[in-house]
Amino acid sequence: MKRLWALVAVLFGFGLLAAACGGGDDTTATDDTEPASTATEEAADDADDSGDSAEADEEPAEDSGDNGEATGDFAGTIRIGAALSETGKFSVEGKDSRQGYDAWATWVNDVYGGINVNGERYAAEIVYYDDESDADTAANLIQRLIDEDEVDFLLGPYSSGITTGASAIAEANNVIMVEGNGTSDTMFERGFQNLFLVATVASDYTKSGIESLAAKGATTAFVAYEDTSFPTAVANGAIKHLEDNGIEVLGVETYPKDIQDVSAIMTKARDLQPDIFVGGGHYNDAVLFVNSAKELGFDPDGMLITVGPSNPKLVEELGDDVDGVLGPTQWEATMAYEGEWFGSAADYAAYYESLFGEPPVYQAASATASALALHLAIEEAGAVDTDTVRDALRGLNVDTFYGPIGFDEAGVNRSKPMGTIQVQGGEINVVSPDAAAVSGLEYPISGG
């Protein structure tokens, strides 16, 4: 019996160890009493004494201990909370989002010299938790960030489904959440005052791509999407844009989360022989669509897939099979955007790569841009209280590496158009809108 208990204890310890290391380099399990990690721990080398930030509702927290070593003294710390998917279905996008936030935190503390609040420089600290790709967990963690970690502001999680619940908690507690990776339109139809989105809303994801395909002569389409919040918003927008551009929708199919087989959907699509296939889901669905189309001999003239094609990893994994596939992108390093902070899109990409050893995907850039928008609003407000910063966010109108940022009354950045990429010979090239395009749209795709 003793041996059994000893074994259980060893296993429990191993489990804790595995969970503690689960974030790759710096994540702890959700149930730990301490946050998963904080960006300043990694980025600004203990720039603050976080224990003193409890009273930070109106003024940034004052430091009582040693101040930033890398960039000189900070007057205090601004604590920002984020629940991100380190594990579960969105772990890839969650990691990219986190790296995006970390890129900003590192930059603002090490390069920029801290957030300038009325002439005083404050370190930025991001407190992270792992939401395990689960909306309920994220909502609980947001409450925890507000109540226990007493963060001043929040940055968004990944995915619309998770952001929907998380932002409701933020709104109920009157805490501002700026985000770039939850783009479902319905979130911004709730009349929330504290939710701001730097990215293009989901319903416009496919707009420029569909316009380009229509201009090339596409007349029929088939749409398939995962029936969760974000893909539904994208697909509904796509159907509207298809109709607006005179493209007949031959069929619409939905499928559940965690789908393992899309053969039937692709069989239907193949039999209807549409010019273009529009698939809306998440990263894994892109793999299934491409594989299944190949298995069933389905060769549409154009294939537009919501998430995946703009991610270099998908191109790396699927190789030639993904050639010609189109995908929307919030941002690419090749786009001609430039700003006072981070420089151009290419400059940002180079900085990001120097930190993480890989080029940024758009989810990462969106995350950085969210944090940057919050940062600029705090500087504009000269305070950290919710009302003043909210007003500053609403008045924000800046050009950045990510594109123009300017929020409407609903909190949506309507200034930035959505881009469309196409995988061309293993390269991810922006093909639309024309202003950002580096290559022409190939249509019909070879074999189509």
Interface ranges with other proteins (CB under 8 A): 4, 7, 11-12, 14-15, 18-19, 21-22, 24, 86-89, 91-92, 94-95, 133, 227, 251-256, 258-265, 267-268, 270-271, 283-284, 287-288, 291-292, 294-297, 313-314, 317-319
Nearer to other proteins, 284 or 388 (CB): 284
153 backbone φψ class: left, alpha, beta (φ>0; ψ -120 to 50)? beta
Q: Provide the angle, in degrees to the nearest 10, between the axes of the packed helices 345-356 and 362-381.
A: 110
Nearer to other proteins, 51 or 297 (CB): 297
Nearer to other proteins, 145 or 314 (CB): 314
Nearer to other proteins, 247 or 318 (CB): 318
CB of 223 to other proteins, least distance (A): 10
CB of 178 to other proteins, least distance (A): 25
Nearer to other proteins, 214 or 314 (CB): 314
Tokens of 193: 């005052």
Nearer to other proteins, 191 or 446 (CB): 446
CB of 265 to other proteins, least distance (A): 6
Instruction: Give the C-alpha separation, 125 to 142, whole Å.
Output: 16
CB of 17 to other proteins, least distance (A): 9
Nearer to other proteins, 82 or 345 (CB): 82
**One-letter amino acid for residue 85 of the chain:** S
Instruction: Give the C-alpha separation, 431 to 437, whole Å.
Output: 4
CB of 422 to other proteins, least distance (A): 20
Instruction: Give the C-alpha separation, 426 to 7, whole Å.
Output: 50
CB of 106 to other proteins, least distance (A): 20
CB of 290 to other proteins, least distance (A): 9
Nearer to other proteins, 3 or 51 (CB): 3
CB of 311 to other proteins, least distance (A): 9
Nearer to other proteins, 27 or 413 (CB): 27
Q: Are strands 302-305 and 403-405 parallel, antiparallel or unpaired?
A: unpaired
Cα dihedral value 153, 159, 163, 166, nearest 10: -80
Instruction: Give the C-alpha separation, 36 to 314, whole Å.
Output: 28
CB of 255 to other proteins, least distance (A): 4
Which residue, 27, 32, 196, 20, is CA-closest to 128?
Answer: 27
For 338, how many CA atoms within 13 A lie in the half-sphere containing its CB?
3
Nearer to other proteins, 33 or 260 (CB): 260
Q: What angle do CA 92, 93, 98 make, to 5 degrees?
A: 100
CB of 149 to other proteins, least distance (A): 24
Task: Report which secondary-structure segment, H or E, holds 292.
Answer: helix 283-295
Instruction: Give the C-alpha separation, 37 to 19, whole Å.
Output: 13
Distances (CA, A) of 259 to 1, 80, 111, 312: 44, 35, 44, 23
Which residue, 225, 282, 370, is CA-closest to 93?
Answer: 282
Task: Report which secondary-structure segment, H or E, holds 85.
Answer: none
Q: Are strands 177-179 and 120-130 parallel, antiparallel or unpaired?
A: unpaired
